[in-house]
Amino acid sequence: PYSKGGKIGLFGGAGVGKTVLIMELINNIAKGHNGFSVFTGVGERTREGNDLLREMIESGVMSYGDKFKEGMERGEWNLRDVDMEKVNESQATLVFGQMNEPPGARLRVALSGLTVAEQFRDSDGGGKEILLFIDNIFRFTQAGSEVSALLGRMPSAVGYQPTLASEMGKLQERITSTKQGSITSVQAIYVPADDLTDPAPATTFSFLDATTVLSRKISELGIYPAVDPLESTSRILDPNIVGEEHYQVAQGVKQLLQHYNELQDIIAILGVDELSDEDKLVVNRARRAQRFLSQPFHVAEQFTGLQGVMVPLEETIRGFKMILNGEMDEYPEQAFLNVGTIDEAIAKGKKLLEQAKTAH
**CA 354 – CA 91 distance, rounded (Å):** 46
The residues, ordered by sequence, that sit 6+ positions from 69 with a Cβ below 8 Å of its Cβ are: 57, 58
* Annotated catalytic residue within 4, 7, 24, 45: 45
- β-bridge partners, 10: 188, 212
- β-bridge partners, 38: 93, 132
**CA 195 – CA 11 distance, rounded (Å):** 10
18 carries an active-site annotation: yes
**CA 208 – CA 192 distance, rounded (Å):** 19
Helix, coil or strand: residue 83: coil
45 carries an active-site annotation: yes
**CA 321 – CA 328 distance, rounded (Å):** 10
Alpha helices in the chain (DSSP H): 18-32, 46-59, 66-73, 84-87, 103-122, 137-150, 164-172, 199-205, 216-219, 239-242, 244-270, 277-292, 301-304, 313-324, 342-359
- Output DSSP code: residue 81: G
Give the strand order in the sheet containing 210-213.
Answer: 92-97, 36-42, 129-135, 182-190, 7-12, 210-213, 233-234
* Annotated catalytic residue within 7, 24, 44, 288: 44
The answer to whether 57 and 72 have CB atoms below 8 angstroms apart is yes
* Annotated catalytic residue within 7, 18, 139, 348: 18
- Output DSSP code: residue 224: S
254 carries an active-site annotation: no
Which residues are identified as catalytic? 18, 44-45
